[in-house]
Amino acid sequence: MDWQVLTRELSLYLESQVRVGLFGSGVGLSLVLGFGVAYACYYLSSIAKKPQLVASNERFCRFLEEYCPVVTETYYPTIWCWEGRVQTLLRPFITSRPQVQYRKCVVFNNRGIAGEELLFALSLKADKKAYDGIFPYDSLQTPRTYCAANTEDLEAVIHHIHDLYPSAPFMAAGVSMGGMLLLNYLGKTGRDTPLMAAAIFSAGWNVFESVESLEKPLNWLLFNYYLTTCLQSSISRHREMLEKLFDMDLVMKARTVREFDKQFTSVMFGYRSIDDYYEDASPCRKLKSVGIPVLCLNSVDDVFSPGHGNSFSSLLAIPVETAKQNANVALVLTSCGGHIGFLEGIWPRKCTYMDRVFKQFVQAVFEHGNKIFSM
């Protein structure tokens, strides 16, 4: 073989491709089209899927299928960012925030101001239908913050609202840790609550599984360290008040959520150990006692409620079997969506899949709730 001739021919061919252009030669266009077709086939076969609806109560299932049909429709996550961690990271920067006017209302319980910034009662404007909303907030007046297991503040807010509007239909929704708090409240109260229904989004069901997942190297880098610094920042503003009870220097050295909870949260709420706190904070242990209709949306690729990949059959933290034992509970599990992500559309600026579930379920409960309240 004459390597000089071969080299010269190859050089001439490459020069011609540069002059013609990759797409002008047809080779590049074929590659791009081939890759596009392959990617579309993979997306449609492995990524875009109908959510799994888990509910033992046939009446609840029919209610959701008729009045909240989004839970049975194929969820098409944003084609260029369907992976769970990417959705989780991008959602705060991509989605727009509606302009909402607030009127402050201060609620006092037996130890100070009651509030939880991760939980809201209701706010919805859709299809020319408007519902009043209450968003509890956190304002530290005593040397005690909040945790996922303690529901005293939430109970105070719920009963205060009910006393103000005793005849108004009343439901609640919780997101992430707010969802955990709301589930723990519902598990504690059973049917003895003014709420008629609840919606839960991206709750961490098993805290042990959640913190273990967050301590994996990539998840620690992307989420755990940032969350820990946020927790430290939230209490550093009140350091003068808190340092009488805690070794704040040790608390501020925490590098994971588990370390922070061990040095601060579990101590503040009187738990003997971090394991005792995490067991009490895990909603999966109280799900059997929920006494009102509750719709829970989770993605199986959520690092806060980890599974293995995006398979419905390999869930670790989401209590599917326990949910089947309670007629008041319905789980909606998507294969993608991450933690409070659920982005959809080419450019998911305004509305997410979670927003649509929330909108339809709230409207269904307020307008047709009598069809499930006799369960």
Catalytic residue, from 153, 176, 266, 301: name it.
176
240 and 358 fall within a common domain:
no
Q: Which amino acid is it at 196? A: M
94 and 152 fall within a common domain:
yes
307 and 350 fall within a common domain:
yes
Predicted local distance difference test score (pLDDT) of residue 114: 36
Give catalytic status of residue 234 as yes or no.
no
Question: Is 23 among the domain residues?
Answer: no
121 and 136 fall within a common domain:
yes
Q: CA of 131: how far to CAs of 118, 193, 363, 367, in Å?
A: 19, 20, 9, 12
C-alpha–C-alpha distance, residues 229 and 60, integer Å: 41
275 and 298 fall within a common domain:
no
Range of the domain at 275: 207-281
Which of 250, 281, 312 corresponds to the end of one domain? 281
Q: Are 353 and 344 in contact (CB under 8 A)?
A: yes
Judged by phi (left if over 0) then psi (alpha if -120 to 50, else beta), residue 345 lies in left
Which of 257, 281, 305 corresponds to the end of one domain? 281
pTM of the model: 0.84
156 and 97 fall within a common domain:
yes
The residue whose two tokens read 């649509």 is 356
Give catalytic status of residue 339 as yes or no.
yes
Predicted local distance difference test score (pLDDT) of residue 69: 97
Question: Is 355 among the domain residues?
Answer: yes
Q: What is the CATH number of the domain that holds 69?
A: 3.40.50
167 and 183 fall within a common domain:
yes
**Two tokens, residue 249:** 């220097």
173 and 234 fall within a common domain:
no
Judged by phi (left if over 0) then psi (alpha if -120 to 50, else beta), residue 226 lies in alpha
Question: Is 115 among the domain residues?
Answer: yes
C-alpha–C-alpha distance, residues 122 and 134, integer Å: 6
- 335 CB contacts (<8 Å, ≥6 apart)? 47, 49, 51, 75, 299, 300, 301, 310, 311, 312
Catalytic residue, from 261, 305, 335, 339: name it.
339
DSSP 74: P
**What's the domain count of the chain?**
2
* Other C-beta atoms lying within 10 Å of the C-beta of residue 292: 22
180 and 64 fall within a common domain:
yes
Which of 239, 254, 281 corresponds to the end of one domain? 281
Question: Is 252 among the domain residues?
Answer: yes
C-alpha–C-alpha distance, residues 332 and 355, integer Å: 14
pLDDT tens track, the chain, 375 positions: 555 554 555 555 545 554 545 455 556 667 777 777 788 888 899 999 999 999 999 999 999 999 999 999 999 999 999 999 999 999 988 887 766 666 666 555 544 433 333 334 343 333 445 555 555 555 556 667 889 999 998 998 899 889 988 998 899 999 999 999 999 999 999 999 999 999 999 999 999 999 999 999 999 999 999 999 999 998 988 888 888 888 899 999 999 999 999 999 999 999 999 999 999 999 999 999 999 999 999 999 999 998 654 555 556 689 999 999 999 999 999 999 999 999 998 888 888 999 999 999 999 999 988 887 655
Question: Is 74 among the domain residues?
Answer: yes
149 and 228 fall within a common domain:
no
166 and 58 fall within a common domain:
yes
223 and 254 fall within a common domain:
yes
Catalytic residue, from 299, 302, 335, 355: name it.
302
Apex CA 87: angle with CA 82 and CA 93, to 5°? 135
103: phi then psi, degrees, rounded to nearest 5: -120, 120
C-alpha–C-alpha distance, residues 143 and 239, integer Å: 10
Question: Is 20 among the domain residues?
Answer: no
Question: Is 45 among the domain residues?
Answer: no
Question: Is 31 among the domain residues?
Answer: no
